[in-house]
Amino acid sequence: MFGSVRFWQGWSIAATIGALFAVVASFDFSDPAPGPDYVAIVGALDAEPLWVIGANLEEGVVTARAVTARATGDTAYHLWLVRGKGEPLAIGTLPVNSAQASIPISDTIATLLGHGRTVGVSRGSAGEEADAESVSFEHRANLTRV
């Protein structure tokens, strides 16, 4: 039986089919996690970015990753949706010191981000509510569709 060519051919076919099945079973056929629709790099053009901002409008989330932004005392950085001549809309507080944050956004802000895609960063005291009427932006960036 072990000396038969047909026996070994049968075993090699069975082993090949088993190996192919194992390879196919190990593939991940699930849909990839949705990435951002828009991305903005916030900071001076001639320096490393302070933050990388991503907006996933379908999920209703803005993600922010601090690259070189550092905490100074009780200072907080606020992210805004900048609108032409209208008042800016507050999006949320940005992370510092290499941290990441996911900021849920309203349907209104998601819709507006889909049309006018400029964000601004202001600085204020930590714990203090940002005031849209008197806000001044230290940085502005355009969200670019990916």
> What is the pTM (predicted TM-score) of this model?
0.74
Residue-by-residue pLDDT tens, the chain, 146 positions: 667 788 888 888 988 998 888 887 787 666 666 677 899 999 988 889 999 999 998 889 999 999 999 988 888 999 999 987 888 999 999 999 999 999 999 998 988 888 767 999 999 887 777 777 888 899 999 988 88
In single-letter form, the type of residue at position 15 comes to: A
**Which tens digit of pLDDT belongs to each residue from 56-70?**
988 899 999 999 999
Residues 6 or more apart whose CB falls under 8 angstroms from that of 64 comprise 51, 52, 53, 54, 79, 92, 94, 95, 100, 101, 103
Strand pairing category for 100-104 and 89-94 = unpaired
What digits encode the pLDDT tens for the residues 30-40? Answer: 666 667 789 99
- Beta strands (DSSP E) in the chain are 38-42, 51-56, 61-66, 75-82, 89-94, 100-104, 118-125, 139-142, 144-145
